[in-house]
Structure 1
Amino acid sequence: MTETGLSAAASRYDRKRDQIIAAATELINELGYKGMTLTKVAQAIDLNTTSITYYFKRKELLAEAILEAAIERYNRIVDQAELEPTPFDKLHRMVWATLEQFAQIRSGDAPPVANLSHIRSLNEPLRTRLSDQYIVMFRRVRRFFEEEDGSRKHLATAQTHVLLENLFWAQAWLRRYSLGDFERVAHRFSEVLAYGVSGAGRDWDPALLTLEEPETVKGLGDMNIAFLKAAAITINDWGYRGASVDRIAAELSVTKGSFYHHLQSKDDLVLACFDLSYARVSLAQRAAERIEGDHHRKLCASVASLLALQFYGDSPLLRTTALYALPPDVRAGVIERSNRMARRYAGVLIDGITESSIKAIDPLIAAQMIMATLNTAYEMRRWAEVQSPEQAIKTYASIITRGLIPNR
């Protein structure tokens, strides 16, 4: 074969490979790793399964390619941000470039990008290999917030985690906005991430809340409650696929048969965990509404209570990354319930803006930022455990109240 022929063959190979990755990305985002099969990928692009295995021998190798492509796309966004002169400019470039990518995906001008939470679904050594690639990208972003002497590295780690998780979660709530609104959304999103929600002169002022037991668990037996608690932690740590029934049962020193005696399936368990999580958020919000003081103080109270649960509680909120384990119709209902929690925070923010305890920000966007920042706090448990609870909660909460770049 001539050099020209070899080049044409390589080009055809790359195009077909990219087509497979794009189709598989859409499936993994819609159905999760469990639902993304080589057969479904083949059907999506009118090929047979044998044709797919010519490019990817196993499903895990295809998943690795999907996630490597996603990390590379986010690395290109970091490339752009690194060229900006100031911390705010870097942050805003990250936000705008991410939203621009989501806009291109929605309009069909770019292939879909995988949710990086699927990394947890892979077995070793792929899981560690991809995690290492993500960590390299994470450290690049962390340098946006670090001082040259490294004195702020601890805080910068939390800031970077919150920024990236908010960018990833944005694709879920951006569906409510038209593409024509994305530029305005990017500015308002950058503003609340950079400078927080607290009004001028307002300090961190949390009241101690006593939260009632959620109605969700009343009437459940002790073993059912224990399964829910163990499952939330195990799924958060290992992902849906990694959180096998055997692993959850082992946490409680019971048999696999005991699990199925109490719950019909693992999917039912995930849904029950989400029910419990949102019940806890709602209880914290309602308890905060009853305390005396302005709406900034009420917001601080609910945030502090939920961060204590996330950092130190035995029944943390289930990470939204577990959404992909649910069937699409059930997942939509769970996301809608999350949006209701966010709208309640938006109401608190609107009331606070009216009384000037909250600065004039977009309350709907800020509420989504608060929900994402609280939900992802579980992953900062190791970060929190080297500090006193009071200091860890205050420092992490400052990202909500004062923002990622508070010197304004």
Structure 2
Amino acid sequence: MNPQSADAGDRTTGRYKQKREAILNAAARLFDENGIKGTMLSEVAQQVGLSTNSITYYFKKKEDLVFECLMHTTSTISAIAAESAAGATPEERVTRFVTGRWKKLAEAAEGQYPAMMSFRDVGELDASYTKTIFSAYGDMFRRVRGLLAQGPVTSDNRMSLTIRTHLLLTSTQWTRTWLSNFSVTDYGRLAAYMCDVLINGLLAPGKPWAPTALDEKVAAIKLPEPSNRNFIAAAISLLNEVGYNGASIDRISARLSVTKGSFYHHIPSKDDLFAECVSRTLAVVEGMQAAAIAGEGSGGDKLAALARSLVGFHFSPRGPLLRMTAWTELSNLEQFYGQVQPMRQLTQTVVDFLATGMMDGSVRPTHQAIAAWMVVGAINGSATLDKWVPGSEKTDAVELYLKPFFCGICSE
């Protein structure tokens, strides 16, 4: 498969490469913002001052452009991981990797390098594309996993290392949701703050990770069970995999093994179903936040109990929870803005727990805002853990995924 349409000779010119990189940069940002299905070639063309027909000189169709954006992202991360492998210890290698990612973010922000794209919608592509992408992604993932390993990867440590690799990748990818709060000149400092949290964790030295009585109270919140719970669970699962635009009624109905007619008998429209998915997730998040705030314990206890309870709920028979980025690609986001506002308050709750923990000595001193965004990012990343790490749903995800975040990603 050759997704490029320009002749080989044309591809050697500097002007061609410059315009092609500009297209990749604009497309990656739009695909991340609106989803693959929610982005049209005409929108990409408008961003770079070309007609839609002119875009096809560089990429025959949208799928070819998505493919190149994802391959560019994979090769970039692989190159950063290869350079980071020179570090003598996992801590040094992680520091190099995170710093390298931030350097590329800075270059992209300054127009010197095409932006990287998230992999959330990769399943929307035809198998002729995904076979190549997943192969490249697997190679990249193994390179990054090697940065965390103290020695060889074996059957005994493979799952633990693989889950921590997902944590590392999602933590660095999540930065795109809060980058707009800072200037490019801040990126070096932000990289250092992120490294501090990842390597040293959040809990103060000597503070135990084990669940407390507060965990039971937070996890035991009362929730009304909707009569169409199976529909909501199936929809949330699909939304987490392919996003709002990719979760068609046909696909949701197929996952439930029901006809479209049966679907509409229970749910009036896709927007109504999405609203119920949001409501279900918010009920859990708000309830657990309230229980953690009202409970007894240090700031660190409350933060850990909230995170453990949310991730634990997602993987329990009562789950799943909708990933927080599922609605960012909505064209009618304002319709749901009031509903999702409480989710944004989760970040502020985490900041409060961090501040309290730093005052009472249960949390290490670190950058509160960066740490809070990273906590929320880690919780959000757990929603796609089973997709990217098959078999993780059969493990103790809370222990293997959250403990490294709170105690240090390189800790065994």
Q: What's the TM-score once normalised by structure 2's chain length?
A: 0.85
Further displaced range: 164-173 or 52-61: 52-61
In the alignment, which of 320, 326, 333 is matched to residue 322 of structure 1? 326
Alignment pair present for 1:51 and 2:54: yes
Check whether the contact 2:299–2:356 (CA below 8 A) recurs between aligned residues: yes
The letter for the 2-side match of 1:197 is L
1:377 aligns with 2:382: yes
Which of the numbers 355, 379, 382 marks the counterpart of 1:350? 355
Supply the distance in 2 between the matched residues of 1:337 and 1:76 (Cα, whole angstroms): 39
Contact 1:270 1:322 in 2 (8 A): no
Instruction: Give the equivalent residue in structure 2 for 1:212.
Output: 221
Shift of 1:80: 2.6
More deviation in 67-76 or 378-387?
378-387
Q: Distance in 2 between matches of 1:368 and 1:102?
A: 17
The Cα shift of 1:53 comes to 2.5
2:29 counterpart of 1:21: no
- Structure-1 separation of matches of 2:56 and 2:221: 53
The answer on 1:116 being equivalent to 2:106 is no
* Cα distance in 2 between the residues matched to 1:181 and 1:309: 36
* 1:403 corresponds to: 408
Worse-matched range after superposition: 229-238 or 23-32: 23-32
1:10 alignment partner in structure 2 = 12
Q: How many residues align?
A: 395
Q: Deviation digits for residues 46-87 of structure 1, max 9, x if unmatched?
A: 433333233322221121112111212222222331222322
Between 1:349-358 and 1:361-370, the stretch displaced more is 361-370
For residue 341 of structure 1, give the secondary structure of its aligned residue in structure 2. helix
Query: Could you tell me how far 1:276 is from its partner in structure 2?
Result: 3.0
Are 1:280 and 2:284 counterparts? yes
Q: Is the 8 A contact 1:189 1:365 kept in 2?
A: yes
Residues 103, 9 of structure 1: CA spacing in aligned structure 2 closer, same or farther, 3 A cutoff?
closer
Aligned to 2:311: 307
The 1:44/1:175 distance shift into structure 2, 3 A limit, reads closer
Partner amino acid, structure 2, of 1:116:
F
Q: Aligned equivalents of 2:252 and 2:84: distance in 1?
A: 41
Query: Structure 1 residues 88, 271: closer, same or farther in 2, change over 3 A?
Result: farther
In structure 2, the residue matched to 1:296 is 300
Give distance in 2, aligned partners of 1:266 and 1:345.
32
Measured at CA, do residues 213 and 129 of structure 1 come closer, stay the same or move farther in structure 2, by a change above 3 Å? farther
Q: Which residue of 1 aligns with 2:66?
A: 63
CA shift for structure 1 position 159: 0.9
Contact 1:245–1:266 (Cα < 8 Å) also in 2: yes
Q: Give the alignment's TM-score, normalised by structure 1.
A: 0.86
Q: What one-letter code is carried by the residue in structure 1 that aligns with 2:95? A: H
Are the counterparts in 1 of residues 204 and 363 from structure 2 also a CA contact under 8 Å? yes
Structure with the higher helix share, 1 or 2: 1
Instruction: For residue 116 of structure 1, give the secondary structure of its aligned residue in structure 2.
Output: coil
Partner SS state of residue 139, structure 1: helix
**How far has the Cα of 1:174 moved from its partner?**
2.1
Query: Within 1, Cα distance between the matches of 2:146 and 2:39?
Result: 36
What amino acid does structure 2 have at the position aligned with 1:10?
T
* % same residue: 32
Which residue identity is paired with 2:303? L
Following superposition, the deviation at residue 332 of structure 1 comes to 10
Preserved contact between residue 299 and residue 354 of structure 2 (Cα < 8 Å): yes
The alignment partner of 2:117 has SS state of coil
Q: Is the 8 A contact 2:163 2:392 kept in 1?
A: no
Q: Residues 126-165 of structure 1: matches in 2 within 5 Å?
A: 126-150=129-153, 151-165=156-170
CA contact 1:307–1:377 (8 Å) conserved in 2: yes
**Is the counterpart of residue 173 in structure 1 residue 175 in structure 2?**
no
CA distance in 1, matches of 2:179, 2:259: 43
Quick one: distance in 1 between partners of 2:91 and 2:11? 45
Amino acid at match of 2:44: V
Q: CA deviation at 1:96?
A: 1.8
8 Å Cα contact 1:188-1:361 kept in structure 2: yes
Structure-2 separation of matches of 1:108 and 1:117: 24
- Check conservation: 1:87, 1:405, Cα contact below 8 A: yes
Kindly state the Cα deviation for residue 9 of structure 1 after the two structures are TM-superposed. Answer: 6.7
1:363 matched to 2:363? The reply is no
Any stretches of 5+ residues in structure 1 without a counterpart?
Answer: 1-5
Decide which of 225, 237, 252 is 1:248's aligned counterpart.
Answer: 252
Q: Kindly provide the CA deviation profile for residues 268-303 of structure 1, in whole angstroms up to 9, marking residues without a partner as x.
A: 544543343233222212212233332222223222
Superposition deviation, residue 328 in structure 1: 7.5
Whether contact under 8 Å (2:311, 2:382) holds in the other structure is yes
Alignment match, 1:42: 45
